[in-house]
A and B are shown apart, each in its own frame.
Chain A
C-alpha cells in the first residue's frame, strides 16, 4: 500500500525558482544569525551591512521574476505573479530605507544588536510569505511569522517599561485577532473542503451554492474581514495602534507603520478579492463602514495629540480608511488606486518617521510635537523636507499625497458613492489642521534648543531622496498609477 501511496505524490523541484527570493532570504537569515554569534560588539556593523545586502539581493531576485505570468507552486500554496513580485520589491526597498534611518537611532539607544536585524529580516520573510500565499494555511503562517517578529522587536527595548507594555498589548490583541481570523478561515475551509484560494474562489462563485452554504461563507467572511481590519488598524479595531506606536522604539514604529501595511493589503487582495471575490457585495458594505469610521476617528482624534508618534498613528488610521475606501468600490481601477495609495502612504510614512528619528540625540527621545519648534533655524533643509512630507500627507497638490487621495475619490464618485466622497473630503480638510500645525511650529515658533541637527551622511542623503521623491512622483502620478493597475 505504501508503494501506491508514494506514487500519488509528486514534487517538482524545477518550479522552486519562483520561490528563490524567499529561499535566499531564509538562507541568509540563518547565515547572518550564525555569523553574528561570533562577532565582537565593536563589529556589529557587519551584521547591519550583511542584512542590507541580503535584502538588496532579495529585491533583485524578486525584480528579475517580474513578467513570468502566474505560477502556482508547492501544491497550490504559493503563487508567483506580478502582484507578488512588485509588492516584494516595494517592501524590500522600504525596508532598506527604514534600516538606513534606524542605524544611528539604534546606536545611540543601545539597541544595535544582531537579533534586531535578524528579526527585521524574519519579519520581511513573513511578509513575503503573505504576499505570495495562495492557501489559507500559508497566509496565516506568514502573518504569524510577521507578527511574532514584530512583538519581539517592540519589546526588545526591555529596559523601557512602555516598550514592554506596548509589546505585550500588541501580543495579546494580535493573538485575539489571529484567533478571529483563524475562526473565519476554519468556516471557509469547513464549507468548501479546501484551503486553496483558487478552489475557494471556484466554490464561492459556483452556481449550485445553497443558501445554507452561502450563510456559512458570509459568517466566515465577517471574521476574516475583522482579522484583516485589525492587522491594518482600521476603526473599530484600532485601539492598539496609538499605544503601540507610542511605546515602541521609534525605529520599530517606523518599520511597523510602513512595510507591514503593504503585506496586509496583499493579504486582503488574496483573501477577499482573489478568494472571496464573488462575495464582494457583502464585504464592500463592511469596508465602507470601516473606511468612514477610520477616516473620521483618525482625523478627529489626531487633533488632540501632543505626541508626534501618537499623531502619526491616528494619521495612519485615517490613511487606512482611504485605502479601504478604494477597495470598497469593487472595481479594478478602485483596487489599483488603493494599491497606489498604500505605496505612497509607505513613502510618506517612512519619510515622516525619518525626520522624527533625526531629532533624537543621545539620552533624548524625541516624541513631542513641540520638539519641532524652531526646526527651520536648526536645520532649514530638513524643515523643508518635513514641510513637503506634511503637505503631502495633508493631500495638497502637487505632492503625491494629493494624487493618491484624488484617484481614490475619483473611483468612489464613479462607483456612485458621492456622499462617501464628500465625507472623506471633509475629514481630509479637518486633518490638514494637524499637519499644518507641525509646519507652523517648525517655521514660526521659537525654541530654546538651537543646536544644529547632526546625523550620518547616508541618513541625510536617503532622507533627502525620499522627500524629493514625494514631490517627483507627484509630477508623474499616472506612470506609477499604471504600475499599480498592472498588478490586477
Chain B
C-alpha cells in the first residue's frame, strides 16, 4: 500500500464515519461539528486529487465561515427536539425500505466495472511548476465566464430574497428625525407658567 492509498483510506473512513455521526447525532451542535470534520476529510481527498485551491477554499469558506454561522444560528434557535422527532418512528419503516432499494440499485450500477481503473486510468501527475490557480482563473474568465456570471446573479437573488423576506418596515422603530429636532422652538417644549403669589408658601413646604 502506498502512502497515498493509506491517506485516501484514512480520509475516506473519517468522511463516512463523520457523515454517519452527523446524521444520527441527537444534538444539533454536535452534528455541525461532525460536518466540519467531514469537510476536512473531503478537503484532504481533494488535495490528493491535486485540487489544492478547491481544498483550501472549502476549509476557508465552509469550515471558516458557513459552519460557524450555522453553529451560531443553532445556538440562537430554541429547537424543540420532541416535535422534530414526533413522526419519526411512523416514517422510519417506509424510509428504510426506500433507502435500501436505492442503495441496492446504486451498488449494482456504480461499481468497479463502470468506474474502475481499467476503464478510467489514473491521470498523470502534474509537474511541479503547475499552477492550479492560474488555470482556474483563466478558465473562469474565458470558457466559464457565462456560468460564472450566472452564479453572481444567484448571489444577487440571495441578497434580495433575504432582505425582502426579513426586512421590517419602519413602523415600530425609534429613530431620530434631525430636521424636526433642529426646527424645534422653545415654546414647543417649554411652558412658562406664571405662579401666583399665594402659592409660594405651599411650594416652600
Q: Which residues of A line the B interface, CB within 8 A?
A: 1-2, 5-6, 8-11, 19, 26, 33, 74-75, 77-78, 113, 115, 118-119, 122, 125, 129, 135, 137-138, 141-142, 144-145, 148-149, 151-152, 155-156, 158, 190-191, 212-213, 215-216, 219
In the complex, the answer to whether A138 meets B160 with C-beta atoms within 8 Å is: no
Q: CA separation between A155 and B164, bound complex, in Å?
A: 9
Quick one: which of B117-167 are within 8 Å of A by CB?
119, 129-131, 134-135, 138-139, 142-147, 150-151, 153-154, 156-158, 160-161, 163-165
How many contacts A-B (CB < 8 Å)? 91
In the complex, the answer to whether B138 meets A9 with C-beta atoms within 8 Å is: yes
In the complex, the answer to whether B147 meets A115 with C-beta atoms within 8 Å is: no
B109 at the interface (CB under 8 A from A): yes
Q: CA separation between A155 and B165, bound complex, in Å?
A: 7
The 5 listed contacts between A and B (C-beta, < 8 Å) are: A75-B143, A75-B146, A135-B147, A219-B105, A219-B109
Contacts of A11 in B (CB 8 A): 142, 145
Secondary structure dominating the interface of B = helix
Among the interface residues B129, B139, B142, which one has the most CB atoms of the partner chain A within 10 A? B142
Given A6-B138, A141-B154, A152 contacting B165 (CB threshold 8 A): yes
B115 at the interface (CB under 8 A from A): yes
B10 at the interface (CB under 8 A from A): no
Secondary structure dominating the interface of A = helix
In the complex, the answer to whether A77 meets B163 with C-beta atoms within 8 Å is: no
In the complex, the answer to whether A156 meets B147 with C-beta atoms within 8 Å is: no
In the complex, what residue of chain A is closest to B135 when comparing beta carbons?
A: A5
Q: CA separation between A210 and B105, bound complex, in Å?
A: 19
In the complex, the answer to whether B114 meets A152 with C-beta atoms within 8 Å is: no
Contacts of B145 in A (CB 8 A): 11, 74
Contacts of B205 in A (CB 8 A): none
In the complex, the answer to whether A129 meets B165 with C-beta atoms within 8 Å is: no
Q: CA separation between A137 and B119, bound complex, in Å?
A: 25
Contacts of B135 in A (CB 8 A): 5
Contacts of B160 in A (CB 8 A): 33, 115, 118-119, 122, 152
In the complex, the answer to whether A151 meets B161 with C-beta atoms within 8 Å is: yes
B177 at the interface (CB under 8 A from A): no
Q: CA separation between A215 and B111, bound complex, in Å?
A: 11
Which of B119, B138, B157 is the one whose CB lies under 8 Å from A148? B157
In the complex, the answer to whether A75 meets B165 with C-beta atoms within 8 Å is: no
Q: CA separation between A5 and B132, bound complex, in Å?
A: 12
Contacts of B146 in A (CB 8 A): 19, 74-75, 77-78, 138
In the complex, the answer to whether A75 meets B144 with C-beta atoms within 8 Å is: yes
Q: How far in angstroms is the closest Cβ of chain B from A291?
A: 24
Q: CA separation between A74 and B145, bound complex, in Å?
A: 7
In the complex, the answer to whether B153 meets A145 with C-beta atoms within 8 Å is: yes
Contact with A along B94-117 (1 / 0, CB 8 A): 000000000001000110011100
Contacts of A191 in B (CB 8 A): 114
Beyond A5-B134, A148-B158, A216-B114, 20 additional pairs, beta carbon < 8 A: A1-B131, A2-B131, A9-B143, A74-B146, A115-B164, A119-B157, A122-B157, A137-B144, A137-B147, A141-B147, A145-B150, A148-B157, A149-B161, A152-B160, A156-B165, A158-B165, A212-B114, A215-B114, A219-B109, A219-B110
